[in-house]
Amino acid sequence: MPLLLDFASKPNYLHDNSVPTLDDLLMAASKMTEIRKGQAPGPISREEFGVRYRTSFRDPAFAPEKEAIERIEQIAWLAYADGRKSPITRKAGPGYADPDYDLSVDWIAAREAIDAAQAIQANPASPSKVLLVNGSTRNDGTCPGEISKTFRLATSMTEELEGQGMIVDTLDLSLVALNTVAGSTRARAVCPPRCPCATGPAVAIRTTRWVRLATG
């Protein structure tokens, strides 16, 4: 909607009379915006944390290690309650605004990987690279039967593109489906118990980890 100034009919400076003075018009950008909150759920209680954490150990085979699991649960709770999102850090070093800042080693590794990929992408002599996404959430490890038709199509496309000299990265979303933790991915990685928090950075970290697994 265009901004229509009406200096002739002062003291209103907008055509809809919503700004009473010139100061209100010129200083609007400097006023504090009201921050709206309430979408994200709050922290869960210690009791709820324990319930969620122990769901990963319902198999009776864990019973002999009940006390050990309880000790680890307490450690996990303290990390959750203290908000320790980056437990392992090192100095950021050159290239950052504050080289002495204690930066997450995961963040640094991600940055280095991005820089390396950028260098390859910017090289005119490098081959074209294609990201192929298999959008099917099922595979032969999550559902009875054979591999999905989407996966077969993606495999065929990979062979065709590689035959043309391209590099193909495949993002297989069936490997990040929630019901694959104990299914199709079990041969690829031994995963620690699921993080008991349902939202926030921990989920982002877990998602990133699974995407890395899915892309190989």
What does the pLDDT look like over 53-90, one tens digit per residue? 999 899 999 999 999 999 999 999 999 999 888 889 99
Q: Classify residue 59 as left (phi > 0), alpha (psi -120 to 50) or beta.
A: beta
Q: Say what percent of the chain tops pLDDT 70.
A: 67
Domain membership of residue 27 (yes or no) is: yes
Name the one residue in this structure whose structure tokens are 């009473």.
Answer: 20
- Per-residue pLDDT for 181 more than 50? no
* Domains of the chain: total: 3
- Residue by residue, DSSP assigns 30-74 as GSPPPPP--SS--PPPHHHHHHHHHGGG-SGGGGGGHHHHHHHHH
Domain membership of residue 201 (yes or no) is: yes
Indicate whether 139 and 210 sit together in one domain. yes
- Per-residue pLDDT for 185 more than 50? no
What does the pLDDT look like over 129-145, one tens digit per residue? 999 999 988 888 777 77
Indicate whether 184 and 211 sit together in one domain. yes
Domain membership of residue 207 (yes or no) is: yes
Give the span between the Cα atoms of 147 and 106, in whole angstroms.
33
- Per-residue pLDDT for 207 more than 70? no
Domain membership of residue 120 (yes or no) is: no
pLDDT of residue 186: 47
What does the pLDDT look like over 85-102, one tens digit per residue? 888 999 999 888 999 999
Task: Read off the pTM.
Answer: 0.55
Domain span including residue 179:
127-215
Domain membership of residue 157 (yes or no) is: yes
Domain membership of residue 88 (yes or no) is: no
pLDDT of residue 175: 83
Name the one residue in this structure whose structure tokens are 């994200």.
Answer: 40
Indicate whether 181 and 139 sit together in one domain. yes
Indicate whether 12 and 50 sit together in one domain. no
Collect all residues with Cβ–Cβ distance below 8 Å to 77 and sequence separation of at least 6.
46, 49, 50, 53
Question: Which among 210, 196, 193 has a CA at the least distance from the CA of 59?
Answer: 193
| 3-class SS of residue 80 | helix
